[in-house]
Structure 1
Amino acid sequence: MTTLRPPSVVITGIGLLTPAGRGVEANWERVLSAVSTSAADPTLGEAAWAMSCTVPHFDPRRELGPGKSWKVDRFAQLAVVAARDAVLDAGLDHKTWDGARVAVVLGNSLGGCTTYEAQQTVHADEGADLVSPLLVPMWMPNMVAGYVAIDIGARGPSMVTATACASGTTAIGTGRDLLRSGACDIAVVGGAESALSPTIMAGLARMGALSTRRDGSDTASRPFDISRDGFVAAEAAGILILERQNDAVARHARMYAAVTGYAATSDAHHVTAPRPDGASLTAAVRAAIRDAELTENDIAYVNAHGTSTPLNDKAESQALHQVFGDRTAVSSTKGVTGHALAAAGAIEAAFTALAIRDNTAPPTANLDIQDPAVEIDVISKTPRSLAIDSALSVSAGFGGHNAVIALSAI
């Protein structure tokens, strides 16, 4: 009996709104420069952790119009604009496509927490009658997919994946599977997050997750460095357009890379801390490689989760070392962008596709002295020219969620 191989799925469009800028080339140039976007954030107060990485020069009134922008929380604003950019980059037109065959799968974890926090203050200070009737639709995490679907007329399946900081990667894998199943012809996938509210950041700080290098904020995000002390939170939206390769070829579309493998596992260990031995992440890495019908030796580059926290970087490096030893080049682009939480996996998948396109692995910013416990080949300071036929993008999230995608040259 012959088993039919599932159709190949490719990335045909990328939309990026991150602290590194807007668009593919602006982001890629900044990531390759290894110049951090982290800065002190006065909206968070004067605490040692009060810094962030924000999207520069974003004007929602100009992008969405004054009549709409105030009704949409910033995390969804970023997603809508990034989705428009991705559709344009793919050479598609949402005004003429068959919207019933377009799916939207986006990752988010914290929803419109800035809106919720502001309206909670209104409720406490001024009473229930003055709470905005838009509070719930502005806050709900699922609305990031809802607003994007409405904006581009996507009437196929739409959903939000919520696997914490693995959400964007989970969304890509889910979108790939929808395409393979025939449920859609185009999948708009990725993630968006803008959770830089004082209360959320204070909560992360109380957990010990955030760096306290505010006086040297441009070097605070330092993945795999011996002196790392936490991550710098970021906002971002990263949207990818996925199509079956045969469909992309038929319309002469530009293809960045193929999404050849996807896998997910759970640590089942702790609500926030990763398994110290990295065993479940190791399993996800190996499963993604198998799903792509590749071997460990085929993977030339890994875009690591690399948060700059002591626990994550050590556990992740152990997981990668178990699979690759020190043979495979690894870097974390969070040294430049900060940690965009649910959006991180999506923007890092885009960077991984660009690494394949250009045969160039991006560096890890602010890596001065690699932690001796990190026994992998981490690229630091400058990009590395490298023949990259296949690569991985690795994500992990609170709750023990692990997600890995494999991308390959076409």
Structure 2
Amino acid sequence: MQVRRVAITGLGLISPYGGDMADFFTRLIAGESAVRHLLTDDLPRPLSTPFVSCLGFNAEAALGKPLALMMERFAQLGMAAAFQAWDQAGLPRRLEAGADPASRDQWGCIWGTALGGLAAHERGSRELWQKGRERLSPLSVVQGMNNAVNAHISIQLGLGGLSTSHTAACASSGIAIGEAFRRVRSGEADVMLTGGSDVCQSYGVVRAWEAMRVLAPGDAATSPMACRPFAADRAGLVLGEGGAALVLEAWDHAVARGATIHGEIVGYGTSCDHSHLVRPQRDGQVRAMRSALADGGLVPRDIHYVNAHGTATAEGDPVEMAALREVFADVAQELPVSATKSMHGHLLGAAGAIEAVVTALALREQAVPPTAHLAGRIDPACEGVDHVLQGRRGVPMQAALSSSFAFGGSNAVLAFRAPPR
């Protein structure tokens, strides 16, 4: 099997702060929370919860009205992020006149989403049962299908290779990125577009998470600080919406066309806890991290930053810290770790994608984002690493991990290297 280096030549995301990528990362480094209080007019009981919304996102402006109307919001967010990444990679959306139409036949898209177009189906149910409608929009099926994003991406960009989606709860886009990485590394594709998107505001989704008693409480005043991973007073996770994308490209292919390389993916590790649907297991997480290190030819001392899964749940955070202490052993105390969900929330199937983008940016910019709201609050059960309490700039870093640990016991860890300087 041919083994090739895999460059990141494009990054895209829809920022919950409303600005561009540079603004997004600057605000993360500053520890600024994008969490706000969500209050809806839903009946029988309005939603009232901390939430992260992409309030400034205009789908018609980003995609054009005809394309936007074909999509549910999760697909709009994903498609917009994909276009950003593709444009940054310097690749034309349409083949130029005279170009070989078969040149993209092996290029593909692997996407991650946990909920997909569930909102379209929920909206349809309301129309039928509450408003008495007898039929739904003929777009309901194509808006609601989980593979809508990768399908639209492949159509819009002329990608003739693999087009598929992964759904594995909170590890969905981590797995999607890892599988896209393997496709490029193996020589099956020169270019893969990958990432994830989700919209968690559906009434039934929020109520379901609420019923599990893992959502952080908050009102208009307290919501920005509601998500506190690794803190002794943590009270649960905060849901959000968003989309993030990466263009992965064979290194030699990228260099040959003069592309800017924003980073490199070097390893990917997966495992299954095979023990419990919702209770995480240290051993499974340890196997995934060690697998990613081995796949990337790395040892613990090579890692200069870990973007942790860090959801701020009572049970999940200590398990993740125990796994990190086991994997990194005598160097754990000097390992910088942060959970950026404290600021951008938990995007479920898109969590791995936005955190992969954050990790790539951290290495590119040589800057480490913090875990917000943690100073003076660290749970003794979560000690044993170098918790990043304030953003750090000018930090020499060569390699980093980004971890996604999901309900169902699905674990995915990605290993990154900094771009050449």
Q: Does 1:392 align with 2:401?
A: yes
**1:162 corresponds to:** 167
Displacement after TM superposition at 1:27 (Å): 1.5
Distance in structure 1 (CA, Å) of the matches to 2:323 and 2:90 = 39
**1:337 corresponds to:** 344
**2:290 corresponds to:** 286
**1:223 corresponds to:** 229
* Preserved CA contact (<8 Å) 2:40 2:47: no
**1:180 corresponds to:** 185
Structure 1 window deviating more from structure 2 (146-155 vs 196-205): it is 146-155
SS in 2 for 1:241: strand
Residues paired across the two proteins, number: 405
**2:32 corresponds to:** 35
SS in 1 for 2:12: strand
Unmatched segments (≥5 aa) in structure 2: 97-102
Distance in structure 2 (CA, Å) of the matches to 1:22 and 1:161 = 28
- TM-score, normalised by the number of residues in structure 2: 0.92
Displacement after TM superposition at 1:269 (Å): 1.7
Listed one character per residue, the Cα deviations across residues 258-305 of structure 1 (whole Å, up to 9, x for unaligned) are 110001000112112212xx1110111111001111111100110001
Displacement after TM superposition at 1:15 (Å): 0.6
**1:397 alignment partner AA:** A
Unmatched segments (≥5 aa) in structure 1: none
Distance in structure 1 (CA, Å) of the matches to 2:201 and 2:65 = 23
SS in 1 for 2:192: strand
Displacement after TM superposition at 1:255 (Å): 0.8
* Preserved CA contact (<8 Å) 2:38 2:47: no
Distance in structure 2 (CA, Å) of the matches to 1:20 and 1:81 = 16
Q: Does 1:241 align with 2:283?
A: no
Displacement after TM superposition at 1:151 (Å): 1.9
Displacement after TM superposition at 1:48 (Å): 8.5
Displacement after TM superposition at 1:148 (Å): 1.6
**1:313 alignment partner AA:** D
SS in 2 for 1:28: helix
Displacement after TM superposition at 1:47 (Å): 7.1
SS in 2 for 1:248: helix
Structure 1 window deviating more from structure 2 (292-301 vs 68-77): it is 68-77
Listed one character per residue, the Cα deviations across residues 46-99 of structure 1 (whole Å, up to 9, x for unaligned) are 779622101131111222233332321000001111111101111111212733
**1:221 alignment partner AA:** C
* Preserved CA contact (<8 Å) 1:44 1:50: no
Q: Does 1:123 align with 2:128?
A: yes
Q: Does 1:405 align with 2:408?
A: no
**2:300 corresponds to:** 296
Cα gap change, 1:388/1:241 in structure 2, threshold over 3 Å: closer, same or farther?
Answer: same
SS in 2 for 1:40: strand
Distance in structure 1 (CA, Å) of the matches to 2:295 and 2:199 = 32
SS in 1 for 2:290: helix
Q: Does 1:90 align with 2:98?
A: no
**1:78 corresponds to:** 77
Q: Does 1:272 align with 2:278?
A: yes
Match of 1:198 among 196, 203, 210: 203
Matches within 5 A, 1:2-81: 6-43=3-40, 50-81=49-80
**2:296 alignment partner AA:** A
SS in 1 for 2:92: coil
Q: Does 1:254 align with 2:260?
A: yes
**2:162 alignment partner AA:** P
SS in 2 for 1:137: helix
Match of 2:360 among 335, 350, 353: 353
Match of 1:316 among 306, 314, 320: 320
Displacement after TM superposition at 1:128 (Å): 6.3
**1:144 alignment partner AA:** V
How large is the Cα RMSD of the aligned pairs?
A: 1.7
Distance in structure 1 (CA, Å) of the matches to 2:370 and 2:400 = 15
Listed one character per residue, the Cα deviations across residues 130-183 of structure 1 (whole Å, up to 9, x for unaligned) are 222221211111112112212222121111011111111111110011112322
**1:344 alignment partner AA:** A
Cα gap change, 1:33/1:323 in structure 2, threshold over 3 Å: closer, same or farther?
Answer: same
Structure 1 window deviating more from structure 2 (221-230 vs 383-392): it is 383-392
SS in 2 for 1:310: coil
Q: Does 1:151 align with 2:191?
A: no
Using the aligned pairs only, state the percent identity: 35
Cα gap change, 1:243/1:68 in structure 2, threshold over 3 Å: closer, same or farther?
Answer: closer
**2:70 alignment partner AA:** K
SS in 2 for 1:234: strand
Match of 2:378 among 364, 370, 380: 370
* Preserved CA contact (<8 Å) 1:145 1:158: yes
**2:344 alignment partner AA:** T
* Preserved CA contact (<8 Å) 1:15 1:23: no
SS in 2 for 1:193: strand
* Preserved CA contact (<8 Å) 1:49 1:210: no
* Preserved CA contact (<8 Å) 1:108 1:162: yes
